[in-house]
Each structure stands twice: as structure tokens, then as C-alpha cells.
Amino acid sequence: MADYNSMELMISVAARELENGATVGVGTGAPCAAAMLAQKISAPDLVIIFEAGGFGPELPEMPISVGDSRTTYRAIKAGSMGETMDYCSRGFVDYTFLGGAQIDMYGNLNSTVIGDYANPKVRFPGSGGANDFASFCWKMMVMTPQDSKRFVEKLDFLTTPGWLQGGNSREKSGLPLGAGPYKIITNMAVMDFEPNSKRMRIISINPGYSLKDVQDNCGFELLKAEKIADTLPPTEKELRILREEVDPYGYVIGRS
């Protein structure tokens, strides 16, 4: 296998999804790295938006928080969290990246508690802006390690809406028609959502893994695309830029 790790693979795969001229709402970490990589390779006019109000910065290096001064470096605007959420609700943001402790077959996320809400085993930070981003950005993506404790049949708590109960349940809830979960990128595979049922399905498998590996590390039955592709590994150019320009200190991809 080539000299790259699973995080570098996930970031490279995510970056390829971001087309030139699109807008993407990101936090720090892997989503920011994917957006920066896309800007430097295939999407120079990608507009990055941070929750705290940085609009369209030219990031000099990896910020360490959404309020880091680097998120407004040579930016179009240094705004506020309220303005960011307003842009989302008005349909101006094409993509967002989210995550959580649990995800179900419809792309709903839990970042609040494990166990009973009133007496949880673990309490997490909660929604932050995740509910707003998932509700109003057109395409939600998730980058996460894959295991059966994270990919669960039933969430302990619904923090962030995906396709809700599937079918047209999201539309019936009053959320914007056409917006919702788009791609799930893990260390093992890439998934999308079957258009009618809105259930998660495998569309490509990452190098070094099998279809059985992917299903065995999921707590619910995954649908399968008619033709499942092989995920392309990171190119030499992607790895070089990711390591030398995007994350030279190894905050996200790990130190060598």
C-alpha cells in the first residue's frame, strides 16, 4: 500500500467533491484541510465560510479554531456567527462538513449524549451550529472513522437532522426541498444515499478493505450501489500539498 494514512485518504477524497466556485461551511480539523486542499488543487475560487464569521479567507495555514484570526486573513468579510447562519438559511451555502458520536442509516447525527439524556453515560458538547448547517446547507458531508459503535441503527439522541425517517420525511418536516446528507467518507468506504428510501449505500470501497469489512463495521444493513467502485488513493500531488502547504505541522494528518 502507498505511503499515506487513513486521514490523508479521507481528506483527499473529500477535497475532490468540492467544485470550483462553490461555497462550503467548515469547522477546523479535517473539513478545513479538505477545503484548503481543494482550493490549492482544483477549486481556486472555492469560498470557505467559518461558523464564527470568516467569509472567503485565503488561509495562510491551518487555523486552530473557528475564531482563529487566520479564518479572516484576506477574507471577503469578517462577519459574525449570526451572519453565517443567515447565509445558510437563505440557501447561499452549497456544502458543509459535520460529524458526531453516532450516525444512523439516514445520516442523522448525535453529538449530544450516549445513553439516557437525563442520566447519560457520556455527555458531548451538543449541536453548536451543526443543526443549522445540516438543516440549510444543500449538501452535508461527514468524514469519520467507521465502526459499529458509531454507525448505529438507532441514535441515543437526535442532534442534527439527516434524512430523518427516510423517504420524504425531511421535506414534510419543513426543511428545504433538496437539501440533506450527500456523502459519508470513512477510512473504509464512501457512501451516499439511495434517492427514494434515503438509506445509506456503499458506492466505493477504499484500498485495503473489502465489502465485508465495511458491513461488519456498521450497526445496520448498508445498501449497495449497482456498481461499487474502488476509491482512488491520494495522488503524489495531493499528498505533497497536504503535507507541505495545508498541514505542515501535522495537526490533522498526524506527525510523521
pLDDT digits (tens, 9 = 90+) for 167-181: 999 999 999 999 999
Q: What is the mean pLDDT of the chain?
A: 95
Q: Which band of pLDDT confidence, cut at 50, 70 and 90, is reported for residue 27?
A: confident
Does residue 79 form part of some domain?
yes
Does residue 256 form part of some domain?
no
Does residue 64 form part of some domain?
yes
pLDDT of residue 23: 97
Does residue 153 form part of some domain?
yes
Q: Which domain range does residue 117 map to?
A: 6-246
Beta strands in 51-176 (DSSP E): 54-55, 77-78, 95-98, 102-103, 109-110, 113-115, 120-123, 139-144
Does residue 216 form part of some domain?
yes
Active site residue 245: no
CATH at residue 39: 3.40.1080.10
pLDDT of residue 1: 40
Does residue 72 form part of some domain?
yes
Average pLDDT, stretch 137-154?
97
> What is the tally of structural domains in the chain?
1
pLDDT digits (tens, 9 = 90+) for 215-246: 999 999 999 999 999 999 999 999 999 999 99
Does residue 94 form part of some domain?
yes
pLDDT digits (tens, 9 = 90+) for 112-122: 999 999 999 99
Alpha helices in the chain (DSSP H): 6-16, 30-41, 81-89, 130-136, 169-172, 211-216, 236-241
Pairing of strands 95-98, 113-115: unpaired
User: Which of the residues 8, 17, 51, 238 is marked catalytic?
Assistant: 51
DSSP state of 234: P
pLDDT digits (tens, 9 = 90+) for 36-84: 999 999 999 999 999 999 999 999 889 988 888 999 999 999 999 999 9
212: buried, middle or exposed (CB in 10 Å: 19+, 13-18, 0-12)? exposed
Q: Which band of pLDDT confidence, cut at 50, 70 and 90, is reported for residue 186?
A: very high
pLDDT at 2 over 80: no
Does residue 253 form part of some domain?
no
